[in-house]
Structure 1
């Protein structure tokens, strides 16, 4: 385990020698020697004997051999701070139980018997084993020791401060029943659920098995590790899958090859390893207040202590650098349709409540956010059977607008068939400066017309082009013109809202904002996705790709002498990819800045970022997130699309006067 709450878990499929516990014990020991840095190692059901021994389970030779095999494994684990689960038949009083034996440091911590014995179709376990139901003896003698025995055992390691690790164990079929034992274990505090299993492979079963593991990890807000027997079990009537799965809170972290998946058949032992995040599980449980209802219905559990190593090396877990962006693959199209569907459904309901014939006004700048909002608005009109000319696009060039973004805005409105208009705000802005008595960049604008003022702006050195009033006047004029027309569809995104990168009561405001919970990295991805999939060729695709490739900028400061965008948002704040990474892990997951930085060091970003840039961007994010909360206290309606929303009416309620000192201290 490491100090950030990650626990390394291995699920192993064993090369099984059916009915030879000694050979199986030696193979378990060999595999353990290969995974010494894992905190928890799970082997399959009845792994010491093989699952398919059938009536041989009634032979003392097999049962005694299993005990000797267990002793060999115990000797190999002596001195290790590692939790190991092996499967074996265990004698208790007059019965035999299909059991998971939990080991650590050369000792048997406890024995958990199987509760749900399949005795249908190809399964026949009731012939050899007794079903555990809680009436069993509380202790059992095994390998010369008397150890806890029963379905009421949990195994607890103190871990690191704030991240206790509580392990529950169920066996194979226990997961397939309506209310698995792991549900009660999770309600009683288990954060890591283990399942040693022997599941044969039939057509379509693997998908259902995967759904069970993912679903149970999600319902229990836990990590779930499933270790399956493989094809070296007896094949008299069945072939076993060798399917290993590790899931966390509904998401699959790691999956092994299995029989029938098209990969070369494996006859040796193999395993998967992943680091599960106990810290996030605990945070999710605290936030999901209905989870606390579970323990009221749970039986009492005995907790048995064990120790984990203080620190594990590295991180065995894929950390996406763009956690908001759909993963390339077969579900990509479905995910994008889902995102657009939610945005359009929200806007459609609002449009239906407007007086008949109300125009939908939108400021089209030629940038990413307004492009996405325009695409959603047009798609909503198509959905409702409304003529696209009800959408009135208004582009409002000012002193920072470049020819590229202006042309992109005009082209996009023309190609999409909406009503469009251009109003140059330069004269209005210049008049506002005069009325305010403001000297932009120390330029006396009294008596200057727009061309003369532009010439004066061009003489201002690039490094001195900083004037907040100059920017705010233009931003508020644009909102004034839009809102004077009537109903305004907003364009600002989630990342801008988190950073407060908007002008209060300007681009900050609208009547409805379909982009409000879409972060910048996802906005950029969706624009490119629409270009490549909805308009695979032609003028619309070319325009959308031009928007995609344009520098992200509010275009409120003068352009360079060559007419290029000089005011780069990412140049000032840091890359949006890093900001969105922080936004997801700090706000969605509740991680402290130190843990966010640790994850960033292992993240698969689209490019390499120096550590210094990541740390500087983190400081910027947390400072601005706290300073700009007052803007988030009053934002327009808009749909929650993903798992993060900053709506003060929904997911995020925060005082505007909170101090970021504790968060900034951790970024040092």
Structure 2
């Protein structure tokens, strides 16, 4: 027997924790689907609250509002023929359960729970006491994890979010046992560069001999540490039928009920031989996709933050170096998307004792290329007064001398930000964050850090693509020179004609630091990182040099954790970050000795 079904996966712009608003949007989405004769509608995980509520999920007021919303939607669905999903947190005793319910024609048909959590979810969510029923208010709802609901001979299962990230995904278990017709995967997946392709590849595999609907929350979610996917995808018989971001996708399908059994699932874990190792394992081969993803994710994050706080101005310290250049590029793109005038981008260059003519000149050329005014505030006098006030001779070029300049710049930006009601945009990158190469409460601090998940190597990768592809000749020329300019904090008064204080002479080559950082976040051991680096950089550095900078890397990484512990909000572009809220966490008073001792023993 053949069945004709119209299926839809859809998300909407949520408001975090605003259950009344989200419920209203859900009703609008359901009504439209019903009017469009949709048979099954998939909405994202935790769509009643938003997925980025974090510890707010445990708040009793939130939980009660969620249950009220669920039963209001149940009542609303009395005349709704569409089967639809709703995701929300449910309290059972002292446990908070991440659940999805299927509703239709005034009934809660069944429930599904999540039992495979992201790291930050483990502190909030748990699994129910029983896996067959859960009591919500005075109603017992049947649970169908790894099983199915059958409606009109159609077998439907739900696998929430990371339940599909297990070695054997829940949907495969359900399919192999029960010949499932339709798999629903409501998700709250965070976005990183290349994640769309990864998700689509997974769905191609999981949709073999079935139909697979995927919907992930997106717009409106917090951009404190992540940007959320916002993808809606439908796969059928191993092919992607529709895939859109922040737009609904439909599929009308005729199919037989009988399905083939999936008997085996292979988790491929083959790794390249150590006769070769990639120098840049964090970069995509397709430069265009990489750059487009980076701009889309980071501009969405900035837009979300600005809209959330009703802010229409930003302020940026533009030095003419790589980091502030990249931040400006993201800002300009975000303002284009928001249709905001460039006059609301407030740029300041603040030369001091170590500023070179080259970087200062490039700052002005960059602003000119975008037709944005660049304001200049010379901070030498202000810093000298401050140094005199604290009893510094103003001549000894020590840490206080250097950091006073960085902190003066930060103070100026924040004060003007207060005057102008503007968001102070941070420029620090992942390489600097890894090594603590920033002035504590100086350039370390901002209102929102757009570069925080990009390494220096990635910044160069993106800017080089723009040099190759921009049609703005002025921009092309200045970006090319910025790429060729040695990276420097420019805090020492030596020679304004020439950059003599070079960062890579102090902390090591960035390509090594970024390689070490990537492998460290992958939990590779000291020995593994060293062996991989020797192979990857065999034509660039000898063993002694790699060992020297590996030791420096670990020493700086561990001792600078206190700076990362108070890092500014900033979106992640990969699955691994140094965010103190959702990233790789270390103790600020941890010792580096265990790593340094193991490095000393390398090649013994």
Structure 2 length-normalised TM: 0.54
**Aligned partners of 2:448 and 2:320: how far apart in 1?**
20
Say yes or no: does 1:585 pair with 2:519. Answer: yes
C-alpha spacing 1:209/1:334, structure 2 compared with 1 (3 Å): closer
Name the residue aligned to 1:595. 528
Write out per-residue CA displacement over residues 297-336 of structure 1, whole angstroms, 9 at most, x where no aligned residue.
xxxxxxxxxxxxxxxxx724x4211222332xxx321121
* Aligned residues of 2:394 and 2:401 also touching (Cα < 8 A): yes
Write out per-residue CA displacement over residues 208-246 of structure 1, whole angstroms, 9 at most, x where no aligned residue.
999649x9xxxxxxxxxxxxxxxxxxxxxxxxxxxxxx9
2:480 counterpart (525, 540, 545): 545
* Aligned residues of 2:314 and 2:345 also touching (Cα < 8 A): yes
Deviating runs (4+, > 3 A) in structure 1?
175-180, 207-213, 246-249
**Aligned partners of 1:633 and 1:501: how far apart in 2?**
14
Name the residue aligned to 1:193. none
Matches within 5 A, 1:274-293: 276=271
Name the residue aligned to 2:163. none
* Aligned residues of 2:327 and 2:427 also touching (Cα < 8 A): yes
**Aligned partners of 1:628 and 1:640: how far apart in 2?**
20
Provide the secondary structure at the position in 1 that maps to 2:448: coil
C-alpha spacing 1:360/1:614, structure 2 compared with 1 (3 Å): same
Provide the secondary structure at the position in 1 that maps to 2:315: strand
C-alpha spacing 1:248/1:336, structure 2 compared with 1 (3 Å): farther
Name the residue aligned to 1:333. 288
Name the residue aligned to 1:315. 274
Say yes or no: does 1:523 pair with 2:518. Answer: no
Question: What stretches of structure 1 of length at least 5 have no aligned partner?
Answer: 1-167, 169-174, 181-206, 216-245, 250-274, 278-313, 443-465
> How many angstroms does 1:653 deviate by?
2.0
2:327 counterpart (357, 370, 373): 373
Name the residue aligned to 1:570. 504
**Aligned partners of 2:510 and 2:598: how far apart in 1?**
21
2:343 counterpart (372, 384, 389): 389
* Aligned residues of 1:511 and 1:637 also touching (Cα < 8 A): yes
**Aligned partners of 2:341 and 2:459: how far apart in 1?**
25
C-alpha spacing 1:401/1:209, structure 2 compared with 1 (3 Å): closer
* Aligned residues of 1:365 and 1:409 also touching (Cα < 8 A): yes
> How many angstroms does 1:524 deviate by?
1.4
C-alpha spacing 1:667/1:401, structure 2 compared with 1 (3 Å): same
**Aligned partners of 2:505 and 2:332: how far apart in 1?**
32
Which structure's CA Rg is the greater one? 1
Provide the secondary structure at the position in 1 that maps to 2:425: coil
* Aligned residues of 1:401 and 1:559 also touching (Cα < 8 A): no
2:299 counterpart (344, 349, 352): 344
Question: What stretches of structure 2 of length at least 5 have no aligned partner?
Answer: 1-166, 178-199, 209-265, 418-422
> How many angstroms does 1:176 deviate by?
14
Name the residue aligned to 1:189. none
Name the residue aligned to 2:33. none
* Aligned residues of 1:348 and 1:380 also touching (Cα < 8 A): yes
Write out per-residue CA displacement over residues 427-455 of structure 1, whole angstroms, 9 at most, x where no aligned residue.
1111112111112444xxxxxxxxxxxxx
Matches within 5 A, 1:135-214: 179=176, 212=205
Say yes or no: does 1:659 pair with 2:594. Answer: no
> How many angstroms does 1:600 deviate by?
0.6
C-alpha spacing 1:608/1:536, structure 2 compared with 1 (3 Å): farther
* Aligned residues of 2:388 and 2:394 also touching (Cα < 8 A): no
Say yes or no: does 1:469 pair with 2:400. Answer: yes
> How many angstroms does 1:473 deviate by?
0.4
> How many angstroms does 1:355 deviate by?
3.6
Say yes or no: does 1:437 pair with 2:391. Answer: yes
> How many angstroms does 1:610 deviate by?
1.8
**Aligned partners of 1:537 and 1:504: how far apart in 2?**
37
* Aligned residues of 1:394 and 1:421 also touching (Cα < 8 A): yes
Name the residue aligned to 1:556. 491
> How many angstroms does 1:594 deviate by?
0.9
Write out per-residue CA displacement over residues 5-28 of structure 1, whole angstroms, 9 at most, x where no aligned residue.
xxxxxxxxxxxxxxxxxxxxxxxx
* Aligned residues of 1:402 and 1:559 also touching (Cα < 8 A): no
2:544 counterpart (598, 612, 631): 612
C-alpha spacing 1:600/1:399, structure 2 compared with 1 (3 Å): same
> How many angstroms does 1:629 deviate by?
0.3
C-alpha spacing 1:419/1:350, structure 2 compared with 1 (3 Å): farther
C-alpha spacing 1:210/1:649, structure 2 compared with 1 (3 Å): closer
**Aligned partners of 2:278 and 2:298: how far apart in 1?**
24
Say yes or no: does 1:626 pair with 2:558. Answer: yes
User: Which deviates the most, 627-636 or 414-423?
Assistant: 414-423
Say yes or no: does 1:646 pair with 2:578. Answer: yes
> How many angstroms does 1:531 deviate by?
1.9
**Aligned partners of 1:571 and 1:600: how far apart in 2?**
19
Name the residue aligned to 1:353. 308
Provide the secondary structure at the position in 2 that maps to 1:394: strand
**Aligned partners of 2:494 and 2:382: how far apart in 1?**
19
Structure 1 length-normalised TM: 0.49
**Aligned partners of 2:314 and 2:202: how far apart in 1?**
48
**Aligned partners of 2:291 and 2:543: how far apart in 1?**
32
> How many angstroms does 1:644 deviate by?
2.1
* Aligned residues of 1:593 and 1:663 also touching (Cα < 8 A): yes
Say yes or no: does 1:484 pair with 2:415. Answer: yes
Q: Indicate the RMSD between aligned Cα atoms, in angstroms.
A: 2.9
C-alpha spacing 1:315/1:361, structure 2 compared with 1 (3 Å): same
**Aligned partners of 2:571 and 2:426: how far apart in 1?**
12
Provide the secondary structure at the position in 1 that maps to 2:327: helix
Provide the secondary structure at the position in 1 that maps to 2:424: coil
**Aligned partners of 1:585 and 1:390: how far apart in 2?**
40
